[in-house]
Amino acid sequence: MEPVLELDPGPPEEPEDTSLDRRRTRKGRSVLKLYVCVALLCFLQATLNISLRLYSETSWTKGREHLMDSLAGVTRRGWLYFDQSLYFISTTKKNWKASRDFCLNKDADLLVINSKEEEGFVAKLEKGSWIGLQIARETKGIYKWVDGTNLTSR
């Protein structure tokens, strides 16, 4: 009889749980895909924000320059700018009705004084000016501005 050598196989091997490993791998890949998508969206959002800011600043600057050029052209043609309003100073002397008709033909109207500052501005003009104040037709004796508001101490 020959001696039989027995090899100690060690602890019994546990069968590999490949389904658990597959689930972990799939979950890891899904999380990685999610992170990549979020990072890509953040990058796209930042790019869009920068592009829109550059475009809007350029458009705003061009629009502002155009308005300033227009304002400069208007003031060269007899208009004065004060407190966000334009005032036309005519060189032709006319009565109140003719002056109002002239203004209406220019899509404007006679001056309505809305503040003490505006009143001071008009008072400093070298020539006399017509203001848009008239006696209301429906109520004789009560003054109204040409824009329909009542005369009040402003």
Task: Using the predicted structure, report yes or no on whether residue 126 has a pLDDT greater than 60.
Answer: yes
Q: Which two tokens stand for residue 60?
A: 């705003």
pLDDT tens per residue across span 26-48: 778 888 889 999 999 999 999 89
Q: Over 70: is that where the pLDDT of 10 sits?
A: no
Alpha helices in the chain (DSSP H): 18-76, 96-105, 116-123
Note the pLDDT of residue 149: 86
